[in-house]
Amino acid sequence: MAPIKLAIVGAGPSSFYVASRLLSLLPRSGPHASTLKIHLYDRLWAPYGLVRYGVAPDHPEVKNCTHKFDEAAADTRLRFFGNVNVGPTSPFSHTLPLSLEALRPYYTHVLYSTGCTVPILHPALPPSQYCIPALSMVHWYTQHPSKPSPPPLERTSHVTLIGQGNVSLDVARMLLTPPDHLAKYDVPTPVLDVLRRSAVQHVSIVGRRGSLQAAFTTKELREMMNLPDSSMVPLDPALLADVEGTTMLTRQQSRTLQLLQKGSKNKPGTTKKTWSLDFFRSPTGLTTPTSSSEKARLTLAHTMLDPSSRAVPTGESSTLETDLVITSLGHRSEPSAPWYEPGLGHLRAMSGRVVNADGRIVRNVYASGWAAMGARGVLASTMMDAYAVADTILRDHFPGEAVQTMAAGAPESAADKAAAEHAIEILPKEVDLEAIPPDVEAGLEEGRVTDFEDWKKVNAEEIRRGQELGKERERMEWEEARDFLAKVRTQVS
């Protein structure tokens, strides 16, 4: 049987879950062990993607999945190459550029697991110093290599978040939690310094629909309700009365309603900092101030739900004075990605298999996670999708063999088989199992490309530095990590 030499573009959770599944279904003690090699490429120098650069710092338990990823990386059949940008120009000058054409001759299979890295902007709210995407905030407080500028919190008393998903609540919580409470977590010292100078007194969280349609989870809402020195502005009782008699509520909707009825732990009027959930409001424009003594003016259309639960304007509007608007409306894949479909906002894929513009399967090219489905779901759903894609890879490679019994995916349909017969070929069937592109090899020797052993050294050092400061870890940026690794290599030699 020909080998599976898989290049995974992206090294976030979906990538590692696919790799872990393949390694476990083709164990080192099994007959197919020697036929599998997996190489993960990421334009970031550190692995784990959103787990490192997207999870809120005060949610350390969410990062426990990295233990499973570390187990996968301990298998010698898997290698990680960080700081390598596969595809068009990278936003980071320090990354090694590598075209897909230069990658293809070395692999029999390719998986795109690049996530959704481009924020969706609101058409009425163009980016400016008064309006930024939530992704910039998240990348700032997780010290992402994109290095967004710190928000001007020292002169910001009112922040407005557009969107009522978990990311909005993460950002609000970071702005309202006392910095001393955050100091024990994975919050970089420069971020804590900015938060300690913050003048934020109120955060408005705006959504175009009502409480039953809000995208945040009960867990996230409960955390907002329990903020130590902030309180929630009470909702208009009419908003809750309208939904109290609603039948067929989901379990989450019922719990959300109960939390909203109860209100925050701190009673209104007892705290200096406050926050509000502003339902049935949709932004229509932002007027920026003409002097430093003024605030920006956010115009909001009042909305209601039509019979299909879509938000429609009522004809009324209001204005909200604010210092900073942060939009949190979702994400899409990069339009420059191969097989990107503009109407979908992600790659064209069918049951994990990449499809070209003519609807033909690209043989042995796959997509998983947000790259294939769009930016939705949590780590648990990402894992299940990744496992399904791994199973598909094995079914395609071992048709009719017993290895299929290990894969839980649905059996192939006649349509799938017919589509596979008309698939296009872009990858070789035979390759050198140990070879990697020469530019990557040179990058490893120069210290420009990182491997998993490099990451393990940086990870241990970040944790050590954090322990000295009484916190989870103290993060390094690329320049510091590069110098640290160069010093370690010198000491070893």
pLDDT one-digit tens code per residue, 362-382: 999 999 999 999 998 889 999
Neighbours of 385 (CB within 10 A): 20
Judged against a pLDDT cut of 50, whether residue 405 lies above it is answered with no
Residue 164 assigned ligand-binding role: yes
Q: With helix as H, strand as E and coil as C, how does 344-402 read?
A: CCEECEECCEEECCCCCEEEEEEECCHHHHCCCCCHHHHHHHHHHHHHHHHHHHCCCCH
Number of helices (H) and strands (E), helices first, in the chain? 17, 22
Rounded to whole angstroms, the Cα distance separating 367 from 359 reads 15
Close Cβ partners of 5 (under 8 Å, ≥ 6 residues apart): 36, 37, 39, 106, 107, 108, 109, 431, 433
Does 203 carry a binding-site annotation? no
- Split at pLDDT 50, 70, 90, the class of 401 is low
Least confident segment among 142-151, 161-170, 230-239, 484-493: 484-493
pLDDT digits (tens, 9 = 90+) for 454-473: 999 999 999 999 999 999 99
10 Å Cβ neighbour count for 486? 12
Q: Mean pLDDT, the chain, as a whole number?
A: 93
- CATH architecture group of domain 4-117+332-450: 3-Layer(aba) Sandwich (3.40)
The whole-number pLDDT of residue 292 equals: 84
pLDDT at residue 402, rounded to an integer: 56
**Residue 65, exposed/middle/buried by CB under 10 A (0-12, 13-18, 19+)?**
buried
d(C-alpha 9, C-alpha 65), whole Å: 20
Backbone angles phi, psi at 305, to 5 degrees: -95, 135
Which residues contact residue 314 at a Cβ distance below 8 angstroms, ignoring those fewer than 6 apart?
301, 302, 303, 304
C-alpha distances in angstroms, 352 versus 231, 339, 358, 425? 45, 13, 17, 17
Give mean pLDDT, residues 29-39: 89
Is residue 116 within 8 A of residue 370, CB to CB? The reply is: yes
Q: What is the mean pLDDT of residues 390-414?
A: 70
- The dihedral sign for the CA sequence 399, 400, 401, 404: positive
Whether residue 325 is annotated as binding a ligand: the answer is no
The residue ranges of every structural domain in the chain are 4-117+332-450, 121-329
Q: Which two tokens stand for residue 8?
A: 């995974």
- 162: Cβ–Cβ under 8 A, 6 or more apart, which residues? 122, 125, 168, 206, 283, 325, 326, 327, 328, 329
Q: What is the pLDDT of residues 277-288, one digit of tens each?
A: 999 999 999 999
Query: Is residue 377 a known part of a binding site?
Result: yes
Three-state DSSP state, 54? coil
Q: Is 220 labelled as part of a ligand binding site?
A: yes
Q: Is position 370 annotated in a ligand binding site?
A: yes
The conformation of residue 461, written as its DSSP 8-state character, comes to: H
Per-residue confidence (pLDDT) for residue 249, from 0 to 100: 85
**To which H or E segment does residue 81 belong?**
strand 78-82
Task: Report the SS3 class of residue 164.
Answer: coil
Residue 244 counted as an annotated binding residue: no
Q: How far apart are CA 420 and CA 354, in angstroms?
A: 11
How many C-beta atoms surround the C-beta of residue 246 within 10 A? 11
| 465 labeled part of a ligand binding site | no
What is the maximum alpha-carbon separation in the chain? 73
Question: Which pair of structure tokens corresponds to residue 181?
Answer: 């409470």
Which band of pLDDT confidence, cut at 50, 70 and 90, is reported for residue 89?
Answer: confident
Residue 54 in marked binding region: no
Residue 131 has pLDDT above 90, yes or no: yes
How open is the CA angle 172-175-176, to the nearest 5 degrees?
85
User: CATH class for domain 121-329?
Assistant: alpha beta
User: Can you name the residues that pair with 450 across neighbouring β-strands?
Assistant: 82
Q: How far is CA 477 from the centre of its chain?
A: 19
Claim: this prediction has a pTM higher than 0.85: yes
- 12 labelled as ligand-binding? no
